[in-house]
């Protein structure tokens, strides 16, 4: 089983500090109720914005389209249901069956 980044939906919008592959980051989590969409923004250790409003798309690694070596985490963060039953990230399943996983299997 992959490691997970726990998101507390009751606190949204909120931000938290996290260390990923030895690098410190700040993650901000938001939710758009109108379209049932979670988004995250990523900041470096100085507070500089690296990416704003990245949508959580099921099975798609975050920040892939904007990745810059040395700036972004070197590991993939992927919204997944490891049981394979879900195919989308929704308010109802996020944090229950779908989790923001750290793709560190085999490490």
Looking at residue 65, its pLDDT comes to: 87
> In this structure, what token pair is assigned to residue 68?
């810059």
Looking at residue 2, its pLDDT comes to: 84
Looking at residue 78, its pLDDT comes to: 95
Looking at residue 11, its pLDDT comes to: 97
Convert 27-48 to b/e letters by CB count within 10 Å (16 or more is b).
bbbebeeeeebbbbbbbeeeee
Q: Is the pLDDT of residue 25 over 60?
A: yes
Task: Identify which of 19, 56, 22, 24 has the alpha carbon closest to the alpha carbon of residue 39.
Answer: 56
**Considering the entire predicted model, what is its pTM?**
0.89
Q: Is the pLDDT of residue 107 over 60?
A: no
What average pLDDT does the segment 58-84 reach? Answer: 91
């Amino acid at each position: 089983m992959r490691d997970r980044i726990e998101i507390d939906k009751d606190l949204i919008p909120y931000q938290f500090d996290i260390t990923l592959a030895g690098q410190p980051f700040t993650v901000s989590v938001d939710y758009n109720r109108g379209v049932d969409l979670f988004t995250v923004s990523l900041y470096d250790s100085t507070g500089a914005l690296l990416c704003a409003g990245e949508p959580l798309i099921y099975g798609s690694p975050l920040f892939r389209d904007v990745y810059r070596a040395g700036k972004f985490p070197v590991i993939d963060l992927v919204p997944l249901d490891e049981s394979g039953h879900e195919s989308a990230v929704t308010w109802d399943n996020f944090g229950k069956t779908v989790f923001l996983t750290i793709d560190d299997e085999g490490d």
